[in-house]
Amino acid sequence: MPDSTHTLEQTTHSRLADLTSADIADMRALLERHFDGVAVEQFEKDLKEKTDVLRVWRSGRLAGFSTLLACREQFDGEWLNLLYSGDTIMSPDCWGSPVLARAWIAMVKKVVAAMPSGRCFWLLLSSGFRTYRFLPVFWRHFWPRHDSPMPEDIRRLRDEISRRRFGDCFDAQASVVRFQTPHRLRGPLAVVPAGRAEDAHIAFFLQRNPGWHAGDELVCLTEICDDNLTAAGRRMTRDLPV
């Protein structure tokens, strides 16, 4: 753990196998403070399917984390690299800090560098507009979005991967996953602040995923490559180690 005398956020990228039972308990406790419906068994089952964990510390305490599965998927006779984001949370007192985004991109670059060559896609489930808003900030092309129709090959890729991974919980027509035991945002995370819905991307998310309050997850897909980074994404990755 980082030195508790520091007040700035610090990060730790770990392989799942390196987490202790105390680490996992701290992560679950943080998630429970911000979501309703967090079941111990389901949380641990979902975590065991992941390969990497990013944790954010502030003043020596766990302030956020994001889990990731790196795997290979076959689609249309081609092997693709797939990154699937699992549980992600950041304490409201750390909102506005770029540390999670920067550390997440650094983790992804390291993970992708160790994978076989080939195209790489990020599968993101979003039950809150703050998570969805990460996409237009850092990626030029992503789906679904308000200002561009989803290409047919991307739609087929999304549907095939989602059916394999989520089964009957995936609603292809709505592009959402409805888990049997969903995590439902609580407290300030469950509120859309005044004026935020005027943002076109946020308005689209709220319209496209009207069940977000109940824990419905919008299925999003983007290609992970340097050419797909926005100017903000390129600045974020500048000088990051490979």
Domains detected in the chain: 10-237 (3.40.630.30)
Amino acid 8: pLDDT: 57
Amino acid 240: pLDDT: 61
Separation between Cα atoms, residue 175 and residue 180, nearest integer Å: 16
Cβ-based neighbour number of residue 25 at 10 Å:
12
Q: What does the pLDDT profile of the chain (242 residues) look like in tens digits?
A: 443 334 457 899 999 999 999 999 999 999 999 999 999 999 999 999 999 999 999 888 999 999 999 999 999 999 999 999 999 998 888 777 788 888 999 999 999 999 999 999 999 999 999 999 999 999 999 999 999 999 999 999 999 999 999 999 999 999 999 999 999 999 888 999 999 999 999 999 999 999 999 999 999 999 999 999 999 998 888 756 54
35 within 8 A of 123, measured Cβ to Cβ: no
Amino acid 1: pLDDT: 45
56 within 8 A of 100, measured Cβ to Cβ: yes
Amino acid 14: pLDDT: 96
End-to-end CA distance of the chain: 23
Separation between Cα atoms, residue 66 and residue 89, nearest integer Å: 7
Amino acid 16: pLDDT: 95
101 within 8 A of 233, measured Cβ to Cβ: no
Strand bridging mode 217-223 / 35-36: unpaired
What backbone phi and psi angles, to 5 degrees, belong to 148?
-160, 130
Cβ-based neighbour number of residue 129 at 10 Å:
22
pTM flag (> 0.85):
yes
Amino acid 6: pLDDT: 41
Amino acid 239: pLDDT: 59
Strand boundaries in the chain, DSSP class E: 10-15, 35-36, 52-58, 61-75, 78-90, 120-126, 142-143, 170-171, 176-177, 184-185, 217-223
Amino acid 3: pLDDT: 37
Which parts of 49-149 fold into alpha helices (H)? 99-113, 129-138
